[in-house]
Amino acid sequence: MQKFPQFLFPFIALSTALSGQAAKAPTTDPATAAPKTIELAETGHCAEALPALSGITRKQADKDLKRRAGLDGVRCAMGLGRFDDALEFLRTLNREFPTDPDVLYLSIHTFSDLATRASEELARSAPSSYQARELNAEAYESQGKWDQAGQEYQKALAKNPDAPGLHFRIGRLLLSKPNPPADVVEQARKEFQAELKIDPNNAGAEYVLGELARQDQNWDQAVEHFSRASKLDPAFGDAFLGLGEALISSRKFPEAIPPLQTAVKLEPANPGAHYNLATAYSRSGRKTEADKEFAIHRQMTQKEPAQTPAQQENPPANPN
């Protein structure tokens, strides 16, 4: 099991070492209170400092002190196991300093640490639950251990055959595996269909079935699935784009225009949405609108490098 990322809390060890020693209480002089509280926290006296840190973070006018108090507050609260307090400090920091690298870095590690703790708790309290199996499966999947992931998903399914999301994940796993068997698409299709029987509102499953139909050149089926996906999730830009592309492929150019217009609204930075909308306009005889969309697409593609292997001019600076 992964240990807590101790390097984030170098002062916690110190705090533990000093736990038997008496610490000075924070001063009440407003001019010196904040720096002294911060010093207290940074020398490991978290329990004493934490209540005052909260006040400084909320009320302190000096931005630098406010930021330092917030960062120390997160570290102290996590070290003391007061996770609600840690999250409150983080909320304040992210509101006040949304682009600060220290704040973002600490946020990532705090959430990461909380996720680790929750997964440990799941493993301790309900090790045989389908949720634990599913989490294991996801872990294997993210490590590229496809077969182990598949086995864990099957175990989760055995525990709870009606659990929503499991068939979807199994289907996606099948399609992601390298060197799949020849009938992998059919196997995956069955999983997505099974998912929809359990959860008819799963827009993702409808979308993937649409893509599979599109790759089979089965335009009518692709249109049906993409239409349902876009109705289930009206913010699902890719579903509208898929619907438009399928309609274009079946040469229904005027019908492709409305979903593609929606795709452009939902994903204005997606060059593919503009390109397909332009194509639909162009082949419907709407030349002016086509030219406008083609121009937007051209601008976007000129800015965006082509999809090519990860190769960069000049290496990053050697960290050593």
The radius of gyration of the chain's CA atoms, rounded to the nearest angstrom, is 27
Which CB, 73 or 210, lies closer to other proteins? 210
Which CB, 43 or 249, lies closer to other proteins? 249
For the CB of residue 292, give the shortest distance to other proteins in the complex, in Å.
13
Which CB, 51 or 164, lies closer to other proteins? 164
For the CB of residue 111, give the shortest distance to other proteins in the complex, in Å.
8
Which CB, 65 or 135, lies closer to other proteins? 135
What own/partner pairs with CB < 8 Å and gap ≥ 24 does 310-314 have? none
For the CB of residue 29, give the shortest distance to other proteins in the complex, in Å.
43
Q: Based on the number of CB atoms within 10 Å of its own CB, is 198 exposed (0-12), middle (13-18) or buried (19 or more)? A: middle
Positions touching other proteins (CB under 8 A) are 1-2, 111-112, 115-116, 119-120, 123, 135-136, 138-139, 142-143, 172, 175-176, 178, 180, 182, 184-185, 188, 204, 207-208, 211-212, 215, 217, 238, 245, 249, 271-276, 278-279, 282-283, 290, 294, 297-298, 301, 305-316
Give the three-class secondary structure for 26. coil
CA dist 262 and 277 (Å) reads 10
Which CB, 68 or 228, lies closer to other proteins? 228
For residue 156, what is the enclosing H or E element? helix 146-159
Query: Are 80 and 47 spatial neighbours (Cβ–Cβ below 8 Å)?
Result: yes
Give the three-class secondary structure for 216. coil
Query: Are 168 and 177 spatial neighbours (Cβ–Cβ below 8 Å)?
Result: no
For the CB of residue 168, give the shortest distance to other proteins in the complex, in Å.
11
For the CB of residue 283, give the shortest distance to other proteins in the complex, in Å.
7
